[in-house]
């Protein structure tokens, strides 16, 4: 495979013919060049482990997004993506040759693409030190920070145009005050009348069959063959309720007794009325009977 070399203009001025990019002399070991003190373009040593800080001038927001390891080879790791290049330093340029590696099948992010192109086409280190480097090549431009060096907050770096900025916080004068709490309505003076069951325990009644509830002067009744009825005393908003013998039921004709069980919602209604201790009006003009065992919502017929 052909080594990717940076343009001749990036070579160090004044190099002799043996240093020209056309020369095919290859260092016997990249480790010998880098680890034992050789510098790139007289600026910085590239060996080590680096984090990608900016790519093409745009800040990398996640410090763990891309890790670059430079040893005998240059290895880029970004999640499941991994790329590797052999390299050598020649005349102040870093010349690279890609070595295939197994990687997942996902597109590269713009930052990963910028780093890959920078390394793949050859680059020079235009500035940097042991902890911070700036690489530039025909394929792109990146800055790096050593993995054990303090991380520069993204707010101090350029922000790419394609990252949407949050809208400004509204001023206090623009924030609408919360709606006032609903004003409690007084409990009705009397419960006498014909009512329709609309909900149990805060849930609307299911099904199209209406359930009529008759409240007399001192009794609460509904049509059922289980012979369930109640006596009550009421002094708004308090109510006291107790079961009454079936013989006192006013509904005519009286339903024949049966042993059938009540449907779930009727059973919940009976349980709530058994334990009801309070009556209140709702904003919708309904009446709610509530207690420790639940609540029922009634509307006048």
Q: What is the CATH number of the domain that holds 233?
A: 2.40.128.270
The reply to whether 256 and 124 lie within a common domain is: no
The reply to whether 139 and 214 lie within a common domain is: no
Low-confidence ranges of the chain (pLDDT < 50): 5-44, 156-160, 163
Tell which of 135, 156, 177 closes a domain: 156
Which pLDDT belongs to residue 229?
A: 92
Question: Residue 138 forms beta bridges with which residues?
Answer: none
The reply to whether 152 and 12 lie within a common domain is: yes
pLDDT digits (tens, 9 = 90+) for 169-197: 556 566 677 788 777 688 899 999 999 99
Give the range of the structural domain holding residue 236, as residue numbers without chain letter: 193-300
Asked if the structure places residue 170 within a domain, the reply is no
The reply to whether 21 and 131 lie within a common domain is: yes
- 216 sits in the region (left: phi over 0; alpha: psi -120 to 50; else beta) called beta
Burial of residue 52 (CB within 10 Å: 0-12, 13-18, 19+) is buried
Report which of 231, 260, 271 is spatially closest to residue 248, judged by C-alpha positions. Answer: 231
In the numeric block, which tokens belong to residue 216?
Answer: 């007399």
Full-model pTM? 0.40
Which pLDDT belongs to residue 169?
A: 56
The C-alpha atoms of residue 204 and residue 214 are separated, in whole angstroms, by 19
The reply to whether 136 and 227 lie within a common domain is: no
pLDDT digits (tens, 9 = 90+) for 39-93: 444 334 688 888 888 898 888 877 667 888 888 888 988 888 888 988 888 777 8
The reply to whether 152 and 13 lie within a common domain is: yes
Q: What is the CATH number of the domain that holds 63?
A: 2.40.128.280
The reply to whether 129 and 246 lie within a common domain is: no
Which pLDDT belongs to residue 8?
A: 33
The reply to whether 97 and 208 lie within a common domain is: no
Measured from the Cβ of residue 108, the count of other Cβ atoms closer than 10 Å reads 17
The reply to whether 23 and 126 lie within a common domain is: yes
Which H/E stretch holds residue 83? strand 81-90
Number of domains in the chain: 2
The reply to whether 225 and 147 lie within a common domain is: no
Asked if the structure places residue 26 within a domain, the reply is yes
Segments of 236-291 assigned E as strands: 238-243, 276-281, 287-291
Question: Residue 276 forms beta bridges with which residues?
Answer: 291
Q: Examine residue 196 and say whether the peptide bond preceding it is cis (omega within 30 degrees of 0).
A: no
Helices (H), the chain: 30-35, 110-120, 264-275
């Amino acid at each position: 495979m052909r080594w990717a070399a940076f343009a001749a203009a990036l070579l160090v001025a004044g190099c002799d013919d043996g240093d020209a990019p056309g020369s095919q002399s290859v260092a016997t070991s990249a480790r010998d060049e880098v680890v034992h003190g050789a510098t790139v373009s007289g600026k910085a040593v590239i060996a080590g482990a680096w984090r990608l800080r900016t790519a093409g001038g745009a800040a990398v927001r996640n410090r763990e997004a891309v890790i670059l390891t430079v040893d005998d080879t240059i290895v880029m790791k970004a999640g499941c993506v991994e790329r590797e290049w052999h390299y050598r330093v020649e005349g102040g340029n870093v010349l690279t040759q890609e070595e295939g590696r197994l990687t997942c099948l996902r597109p590269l992010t713009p930052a990963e693409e910028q780093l890959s192109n920078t390394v793949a086409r050859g680059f020079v280190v235009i500035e940097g030190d042991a902890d911070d480097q700036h690489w530039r090549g025909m394929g792109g431009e990146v800055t790096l920070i050593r993995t054990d060096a303090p991380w520069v907050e993204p707010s101090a770096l350029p922000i790419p145009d394609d990252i949407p900025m949050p809208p400004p916080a509204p001023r206090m004068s623009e924030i609408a005050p919360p709606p006032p709490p609903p004003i409690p309505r007084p409990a009705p003076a009397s419960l006498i009348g014909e009512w329709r069951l609309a909900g149990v325990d805060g849930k609307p009644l299911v099904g199209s069959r209406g359930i009529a509830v008759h409240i007399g002067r001192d009794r609460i009744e509904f049509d059922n063959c289980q012979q369930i009825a109640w006596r009550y005393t009421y002094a708004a908003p308090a109510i006291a309720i107790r079961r009454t013998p079936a013989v006192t039921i006013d509904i005519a004709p009286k339903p024949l007794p049966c042993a059938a069980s009540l449907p779930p919602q009727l059973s919940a209604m009976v349980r709530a009325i058994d334990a009801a201790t309070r009556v209140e009006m709702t904003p919708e003009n309904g009446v709610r009977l509530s207690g420790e065992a639940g609540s029922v919502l009634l509307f006048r017929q």
